[in-house]
Chains A and B, each alone.
Chain A
């Protein structure tokens, strides 16, 4: 096996990088592939909580890099999916505990072991971000349909191009089709127009995402959730399958009927 190393980054904080990593890694593992996700946000770790693994952490990424444990010891196996592992970040250290070449070495060690390595980048464009992209074969940029998030994404795309990492793919997260229709939110076309990079998926706004994160059960495990479906589709596209984009507009059923009645739709 030679794993593909995928880094998820955004520039701006709070757009859903960690949620995207948790969901994509889980979805890929649900497809029967072996996946390791690495939390690159040293000092502010979150990925363990979203995956529901916070009380299983014994060793973390800094322990591996500084040689206090073996790589396998820091790989926490997921509760539900035996092919999904997490290498958590250290909470008591900072970004300077890891260097870009440490990350390259770590990922090279993982390449022979798994199918996919998914790295969660911290917000910003400083050391933590440099660490996260150092080993990446492919970069996914997450953004929200907000002007500030898009501008930060643009900055990140510029840096990635300057570093000759190739053009990244875009995940547009938390799109609200109703706001877009009323011209109150940037549409997917607007964002693509600005960034000019390949779109790999659009994730609709969905409260189940927050519920899942708080429970430690990523939303991809919820068969009915639309955001879950969107993440499952992106995971398939990462694995090289051609999946058509979801129709975000059609919201049938009772909710749609209520919205039509109240004039919100």
Chain B
């Protein structure tokens, strides 16, 4: 038990408590966190907890389980900080924060190196409140509903209808484009240009949006050939 407890380290931060873990399997890490809390129930009652899980790859089930176990003990999990993209996305899907206000002092986050032709393929509809972020290109096979956000370092291609916010070239590359079957977006952005002049159309046609020679964002019908 002694050895288990030493896997977890709890410290106070501005937004509550932060749990960090020593290298181990997630099963052991989560168990030791719960043991640590069980030993000090009064201290943790009503606490706001953030977890830094390092490189651990966590699935929805893992995070849901630990969140529920924590909530049974009166601890609310509000953030999961991770170096793994999968874990970060899982946390975002569950509405947890993935950044705590202070950047990590020991190591600054490096932007993940992405080759120019790397793309994230999303094979589902992105719904309100969901955010998909990727340093490369993003391809969505489905709709992007109102209230959803898609942010790519590269191009954004949506095989479906767009009513949410799309951002291509988010790192500042003005040569990126946005293509969609129906671009009745509430707002699209390329690099630093924002456009919200698009109106829903009766008979939507595929469109391509880009920044023209005058430096403004424009969209035009996509013509094959």
Q: Is the CB of B128 within 8 A of A154?
A: yes
Q: Could you say which of B49-57, B142-150, B213-221 contacts chain A?
A: B142-150
Binds B, one of A43-51, A155-163, A199-207: A155-163
Query: B113-140: contact bitstring with A at CB < 8 Å (1 yes, 0 no)?
Result: 0000000000011111110000000000
Residue of B69, B95, B126, B145 touching A194 (CB-CB under 8 A): B145
- Complex: A61 Cα to B95 Cα, angstroms: 27
Q: Which of B24-32, B60-68, B80-88 contacts A (4 or more CB under 8 A)?
A: B60-68
A99 engages B72 (CB within 8 Å): yes
> Is the CB of B22 closer than 8 A to any CB of chain A?
no
Nearest-Cβ distance from residue A166 to partner chain B, whole angstroms: 13
Known: A125-B95, A162-B60, A163-B94. A155 touches B143 (CB 8 A): no
Q: In the complex, are the beta carbons of A100 and B127 less than 8 A apart?
A: no
Complex CA distance for A101 and B71, rounded to whole angstroms: 9
Is the C-beta of A151 less than 8 angstroms from some C-beta in chain B?
yes
Could you mark each residue 183-209 of chain A with 1 if its beta carbon is under 8 Å from any beta carbon of chain B, else 0?
A: 000000000001010000000000000
Within 8 A of B (CB), among A97-114: 99-102
- Count contacts on B: residues with CB < 8 A to the other chain: 22
**Complex formed: what's the CA distance from A163 to B124 in Å?**
15
Interface of B is mostly: loop
Q: How far is the CA of A152 from the CA of B147 in the complex (A)?
A: 9
**Please, could you name 24 A-B residue pairs with CB atoms under 8 Å apart, sorted by A?**
A100-B68, A101-B72, A125-B95, A127-B71, A134-B68, A147-B146, A151-B146, A151-B147, A154-B127, A154-B128, A154-B146, A154-B147, A155-B127, A155-B128, A155-B129, A158-B93, A158-B126, A158-B130, A159-B129, A162-B93, A163-B94, A164-B60, A196-B125, A196-B143
Question: When A and B form their complex, which 7 residue pairs have the shortest distance between CB atoms, in order from nearest?
Answer: A158-B127, A162-B93, A155-B128, A154-B128, A155-B129, A154-B127, A100-B68
Interface residue ranges, B against A (CB under 8 Å): 60-61, 64, 68-69, 71-72, 93-95, 124-130, 143, 145-147, 163
With A155-B147, A158-B129 given, can you name 15 additional A-B contacts, CB distance below 8 Å? Answer: A99-B68, A102-B72, A125-B129, A127-B71, A151-B146, A154-B127, A154-B147, A155-B127, A155-B129, A158-B126, A159-B94, A159-B95, A162-B94, A163-B64, A196-B125
